[in-house]
Amino acid sequence: MNMKDIAVKCGVSVSTVSRVINRKPGVNPKMREQIQKIIDENGFRPNQIAKNLLSSKSENIGVVLPMVHSYFTKRIMAVTEVCQKNNYGVMMVNNYYSQKNILNSIYSLYEKRVDGILYFESICGKEQTAALKEINKKIPIVLVDQELPESEIPCVVQDNYNGSRKATEYLIEKGHRKLLYISGPSYDWGANLRKKAFTDVLKKNGIDSSCIREGKFSLNSGYKIAKEVIQENNDITAVFCANDDMAIGAIAAIKDLNLNIPEDISVIGFDDIDMANYIKPRLSTVRQDHYGIGEKATELLIDIIKNKKAKIKKIYMDYELIIRESTN
C-alpha cells in the first residue's frame, strides 16, 4: 500500500494525497476529509525512505557507544529522549568489539546516511581516528568523553582531572598516607587523566604514589586487584577506584578480607551510579551527570545538523564530590 493506491481509491492524483498527508494547503476541504478517511481506514503510513531519498535527510542519528558501563543506561536514555523530542530516530552501535568491527559499523552508519553521529568513547585507535575525521567531512560528529586534538570535531567532556584531584585531596586531608589507586584501562583517555590527577596530588604532598594497578572498569577487576594488593600491603588505608563498579568490587573484596569500611579502609569511586547509594556502606564517589552529558551532546549534534555549523566547540561538564559512608 502506497500513496498511489490511496490516490486510485480516491480518484485523485498522488500530489493531492501527499498534500493531505503533510497537511499542506491547496486541497478542497471536502476532498481532504474524504482522502483522510481512506488513509485512516487503510492504516496507511507514508514510506519515509522515499521521502528521505528526496530530501537527502534520514532523520536518524547514529550513536556509537560501549555498552559495558553501568551508567550507559542514563546516557542512552537522555539521547533517545532528546531525539524523540526532535523527531530523530536513533541507530545504535555497540563499540565494544574489535577495532575492525567498529570501523565497519561507523561506515555502515554513514552508508545508511544518518544525519549525524554521536560517538561515546574515549578509546580511539589510529584507524578509528582517521575514519572519524574522514566521515566528519561528510556528516557532523559529536564526541563524548574524548577530544581529538588537531581536529574540528566538537566534544562534550567531563573534567576528569579536577574530579579526580578533588577526591584525592579529600583522602589526603582525611589523613590517608598509603593509598591504592585502581585505574581504568591505559587506552582510555579519561582514565589516564584521572590517574594523572591522583599521582600529581600525591607527589605534591610528598606521598608515595607507586601503588597503582590497572583494572578493566569491571566489578571483577576491582575485586581481584583490591583483594590481592591489600593482602600484600596491610598498611593501605584508602582505595580510590576510577569507576563505581570497580569500587563496589573492591568493597566486596575488603569485606571478604574481614576488614571494615571505612574504619579500616576507606573506598571512593567515580561516576555515582544509582547503586552507589544503595550498597552498604553507601559509596563516596565523584558524581558525573550522565543524563546531562547525553542530553547536552545530543542537543549539540542536532543543533549542528540543523544549522550546519557548530557554535560551540567544546562543552565541559561539572563534577561533584559526594561523600557518603565509605570514607572517613
Least Å from the CB of residue 59 to DNA: 12
Look up residue 282 and give its three cell numbers: 553507601
Contact call for residue 37 and DNA (CB under 7 A):
no
Alpha-carbon torsion angle 307, 129, 105, 144, nearest 10: -60
Which backbone phi and psi does 191 adopt, to 5 degrees?
-60, -40
Interacting residues of 315 by C-beta distance below 8 A, sequence separation 6+? 154, 155, 156, 157, 296, 297, 300
Task: Tell me which stretch binds DNA (CB under 7 A): 1-9, 189-197, 200-208, 232-240.
Answer: 1-9
Residue 45 or 126: the one with the smaller Cβ distance to DNA is: 45
Tell me the three state secondary structure of residue 182.
strand
Tell me the three state secondary structure of residue 266.
strand
Contact call for residue 308 and DNA (CB under 7 A):
no
Contact call for residue 67 and DNA (CB under 7 A):
no
Q: Return d(Cα 183, Cα 180) in angstroms, integer.
A: 10
**Count of residues in contact with DNA, rule CB under 7 A:** 30
Least Å from the CB of residue 301 to a second copy: 16
Residue 208 or 256: the one with the smaller Cβ distance to a second copy is: 256
Residue 308 or 311: the one with the smaller Cβ distance to DNA is: 308
Angle at 26 between CA 23 and CA 28, to 5 degrees: 95
Least Å from the CB of residue 74 to a second copy: 9
Give, as ranges, the residues between 8 and 27 that touch DNA (CB under 7 A).
11-16, 18-19, 21-22, 24-27
Q: Which amino acid is at 189?
A: W
Which backbone phi and psi does 206 adopt, to 5 degrees?
65, 30
Residue in 9, 36, 38, 46 binding DNA, rule: CB under 7 A: 46
Interacting residues of 131 by C-beta distance below 8 A, sequence separation 6+? 103, 106, 107
Contact partner, 96, from DNA, a second copy, none, Cβ < 5-8 Å per class: a second copy
Contact call for residue 255 and DNA (CB under 7 A):
no
Contact partner, 126, from DNA, a second copy, none, Cβ < 5-8 Å per class: none
Q: How many residues does the chain have?
A: 328
Residues at the interface with a second copy (CB under 8 A) = 43, 45-50, 52-53, 58, 60, 67-68, 70, 72-73, 76-77, 80-81, 84, 87, 89-94, 96-97, 101, 105, 107-113, 134, 219-220, 223, 248-249, 251-252, 255-256, 274-275, 277-280, 282
Residue 24 or 85: the one with the smaller Cβ distance to DNA is: 24
Contact call for residue 58 and DNA (CB under 7 A):
no
Look up residue 201 and give its three cell numbers: 596530588
Least Å from the CB of residue 33 to a second copy: 22
Least Å from the CB of residue 125 to a second copy: 18
Least Å from the CB of residue 137 to DNA: 16
Query: CB of 298 within 8 A of CB of 79?
Result: yes
The strand ranges marked E within the chain are 60-65, 89-94, 116-120, 141-144, 155-158, 179-183, 212-214, 238-241, 266-271, 284-288, 314-317, 319-322
Contact partner, 12, from a second copy, DNA, none, Cβ < 5-8 Å per class: DNA
Tell me the three state secondary structure of residue 73.
helix
Q: Would you tell me which residues interact with DNA (CB under 7 A)?
A: 2-4, 11-16, 18-19, 21-22, 24-29, 31-32, 46-47, 49-51, 53-56
